[in-house]
Amino acid sequence: VESSIPEHMREAWKKFSPTGFNSKETFQKEAVRHIETTLARSLYNCDEGAAYSGVALAFRDRLIMDWNKTQQRQTFADQKRIYYLSLEFLMGRALDNAMLNVGLKTVAKDGLAELGFRIEDVIQQEHDAALGNGGLGRLAACFLDSMASLNYAAWGYGLRYRYGIFKQEIENGYQVEIPDYWLDSNYWEFPRYDVTVDIQFYGWVNKYTDENGKQIVSWQDGEIVTAVAYDVPIPGYGTATVNNLRLWNSKASSGEFDFAKFNSGEYESAVADEQRAESISAVLYPNDNMERGKELRLKQQYFWCAASLHDIVRRFKKSKRPWKDFPDQVAIQLNDTHPTLAIVELQRILIDIEGLGWDDAWDIVTKTFGYTNHTVLPEALEKWSVPLIQHLLPRHLEIIYEINLHFLQQVERRFPKDRDMLGRVSVVEESQPKMIRMAYLAIIGSHKVNGVAELHSDLIKTTIFKDFVKIYGPDKFTNVTNGITPRRWLHQANPRLSELIASKLGSYEFLKDLTLLNKLEGFVDDKEFKKEWQEIKYANKVRLAQHIMAATGISVNPKALFDVQVKRMHEYKRQQLNIFGVIHRYLAIKAMSADERKKLAPRVSIFGGKAAPGYWMAKTIIHLINKVGDVVNNDKDVGDLLKVVFIPDYNVSKAEIIIPASDISEHISTAGTEASGTSNMKFVLNGGLVIGTLDGANIEITREIGEQNVFLFGNLSEDVEDLRHNHFYGNHQIDPELVKVFDTIKSGTFGDAGAFSSLVGAIADHGDYYLVSDDFNSYCKTQDLIDETYKNQEEWISKSITSVARMGFFTSDRCINEYADSIWNIEPLQVKEEAEVRART
Ligand code: GLS
């Protein structure tokens, strides 16, 4: 690796290269030094926040040393790299993860105790990095963790939003959104003011022939916004690899353009330009599984794609290789269609700037990209209007048309008799206005397309992308079932369970190879082990009960069965089915004799999740949950038999408290709608059982852990179409028990019935698109079975242990290896310091 410092002058440098702490004393020294100098605080005004800062800075120093080395090693090795492009990275907190991966948490714990602080309290000071909506963003975060842990040379590329997903408060039962300004005291990012890319918008396309007769295309004028890189270190577990997540921040370009304005006295308009530029990376769009088609969103997408592409190309060009080698050095994975413009941008760079011919360029492009689809919901499939693209990105629109032309010609040659096919698969939808179908563009520009669970990958091949399977053949389409990182979702969230498992398995090796969990099956009949297992679940429930009390003022009994549904609020996820089931239970309890009540297992129904601010129906469901809670929780006659809790502001760090405390969690989407789901995996890995439909990854979880360990219910995805048809033609009777629930709501038991009329009406009068009434009966019966099963705690714990033992498949390490093998064609980079890192505790 080159250096500007002459060889003979490197001695002093090497002598003073920092080494970071490695013992309790040196940790204390570093933390105190940071508190007193970096933060200018002292013994007399060091609160938990300042203690957090000192510890974060001390660990950060250690991390950076490995980070620098990793980057040098990867540059030196000059091998293929993975670039993971995602508009969302739902990282959560970083310190605990850094401690685990640096491997000096015990040292920090003891060191902090002597300084007067509890490590748990210090860790909780950190603000979540919440640059994502839900599963899609959290998946990206788990993937970064796995890529680093497996020593892949990988970069994440995203946007540095000033505001992450909003904070949710509940007022009078309604969701209220509060902006999430998260950047104060964020020690985990490094601005790289010297790494910038100028990004162009608007303008026009100039075409002419130069003196050599060559056709020149140039995109001229318009507006320039500068992208500034902010780097976030991503440490791997049990290895010295620390990868990089590069987030782009937008700022006004400091080109002559602006100076001219300032100088000509247009101060105010220059300031306005500046604010407009900064607004590009200002805020995360708060929709999950829903696209709104806003111009600023398209600007975000192009800004981020273009900046990332130029960065990647710049790095490639340093290697001085010929362009045809690009796909051997670069694999770019598109996390959903949000980065599809990267395909167009690379083609533009290659033909307009680097002077390659169309076909050579296109060959490079398609070998470079892979596209992951994360949903089949029509409202989530991205389309952008042609006039909007024309205005914002005139050259890109031309290239899109040309890509489409080449593609349609190829289709026409293959299917000369199928005239309708051309209209169906065209990237341009012939609507008013015309729309660009981003998913089609992503398929055409990639060499592999994958879904995120088996059922989902089958569905995309037989429904939304059916024609493309005909055109390209089935091999272009593949499945990589999602996974989760066991470091965060077992070890960090549930340290006692992780420790118990390690004590039985002899080491923490299972955190690197999750299939080792299968050895736990040997202990399902071990009385002592089962007791400890149960005690840990109970302790986790006590911790959650404390959180519920602090957050909502509701007192819940940790001995009750905790039934949890936490995820984004969405009609397809059917929180309404759950709350109707709760109302049904409430009515049943009210009608029970004292004897019957004694036999019933007390239950706490726990909900959490954000609704997109513009999604009225989802907000209505939150409102109903809270209103039902108000009535049920204050009904003395019901007491502990039933409590209903809505935990506000569900996020990654709350998930870490909630998930280990569940007895049952709900994954009850209409079959065929939830592409995968990933919290289902987290709950089972933490010893909770699940109630679920045969949807997404529930199917594979069931296959792995055994049908006897899952509470399945409801209709199958292959029957959904017929069932919807029945509703449409009025051949459907609503279950009488559900009618009673509706009558109770309509009678005003939970407050103004008018507030819920659209929710009830959607099911009773408007076709019940999500088939709540079709699955209600089966859902309630399955809930009764859960009550019965829970009474036999011996059996319940056995199911819990067996399930955990069989969850090895769902680690994101397995996913990443599958992507590396079947899509990226890349091998890990060996790291020799690995053993040393793994020896640290
Ligand atoms: C999602 C799906 O809805 C989830 O089922 C899936 O687990 C996740 C990650 O693949 O992607 N798609 C989406 O738009 N948001 C999601 O969470």
Residue nearest ligand 1's atom 15 by CA: 136
Task: Check whether 680 has a pLDDT greater than 70.
Answer: yes
pLDDT of residue 224: 96
766 is catalytic: no
Ligand 1 atom closest to 138 (CA): 9
Residue identified by tokens 């149960």 is 534
What spacing in Å lies between the alpha carbon of 167 and ligand 1's midpoint? 21
Ligand 1: residues whose CB is within 6 Å?
134-136, 139, 288-289, 374-375, 380, 452, 482, 674-678, 696
Higher pLDDT among residues 181 and 259, named by residue: 181
678 is catalytic: yes
What spacing in Å lies between the alpha carbon of 460 and ligand 1's midpoint? 14
Q: Of 374, 448, 461, 487, which is the active-site residue?
A: 374
Report the residue among 667, 670, 676 best suited for mutation to probe ligand 1: largest number of ligand atoms under 8 A from its CB. Answer: 676
Please provide the CATH number assigned to the domain covering 513-810: 3.40.50.2000
Report the residue among 452, 682, 693, 815 best suited for mutation to probe ligand 1: largest number of ligand atoms under 8 A from its CB. Answer: 452
Higher pLDDT among residues 268 and 456, named by residue: 456
573 is catalytic: yes
pTM greater than 0.95 (yes/no): yes
Percent of the chain with pLDDT over 90: 92
Q: What is the rounded average pLDDT of the residues 711-723?
A: 98
- Evaluate whether 523 touches 791 at the Cβ level (below 8 Å): no
For residue range 369-381, list pLDDT tens digits in order.
999 999 999 999 9
For residue range 91-102, list pLDDT tens digits in order.
999 999 999 999
pLDDT band, very low/low/confident/very high, at 339 (cuts 50, 70, 90): very high
What spacing in Å lies between the alpha carbon of 88 and ligand 1's midpoint? 12
Q: What is the rounded average pLDDT of the residues 53-76?
A: 96
Task: Check whether 266 has a pLDDT greater than 60.
Answer: yes
627 is catalytic: no
Q: Of 310, 570, 573, 654, which is the active-site residue?
A: 573
For residue range 498-548, list pLDDT tens digits in order.
999 999 999 999 999 999 999 999 999 999 999 999 999 999 999 999 999
Topology match between the domains 78-93+128-479 and 513-810: yes
For residue range 8-35, list pLDDT tens digits in order.
888 888 888 888 899 999 999 999 999 9
Helices 698-705 and 454-462, packing angle to 10 deg? 140
Q: Where are the domains of the chain?
A: 1-77+94-127, 78-93+128-479, 513-810
Q: What is the rounded average pLDDT of the residues 206-232?
A: 94
Whether complex ipTM tops 0.90:
yes
What spacing in Å lies between the alpha carbon of 90 and ligand 1's midpoint? 13
Distances (CA, A) of 310 to 1, 18, 102, 277: 22, 33, 32, 19
682 is catalytic: yes
pLDDT of residue 841: 59
What spacing in Å lies between the alpha carbon of 628 and ligand 1's midpoint? 29
Percent of the chain with pLDDT over 70: 98
For residue range 618-637, list pLDDT tens digits in order.
999 999 999 999 999 999 99
Rounded mean pLDDT of the chain? 96
CATH class of 78-93+128-479: alpha beta
- Evaluate whether 336 touches 372 at the Cβ level (below 8 Å): yes
Residue 349 and residue 368: Cα distance in Å, rounded? 14
- Evaluate whether 124 touches 790 at the Cβ level (below 8 Å): no
pLDDT of residue 731: 85
Residue 557 and residue 502: Cα distance in Å, rounded? 30
Point out the least confidently predicted range of 225-239, 258-272, 554-568, 763-777: 258-272
14 is catalytic: no
Task: Check whether 256 has a pLDDT greater than 60.
Answer: no
pLDDT band, very low/low/confident/very high, at 726 (cuts 50, 70, 90): very high
Residue 7 and residue 399: Cα distance in Å, rounded? 48
Structure tokens at 352: 């307009």
Report the residue among 88, 136, 457, 818 best suited for mutation to probe ligand 1: largest number of ligand atoms under 8 A from its CB. Answer: 136
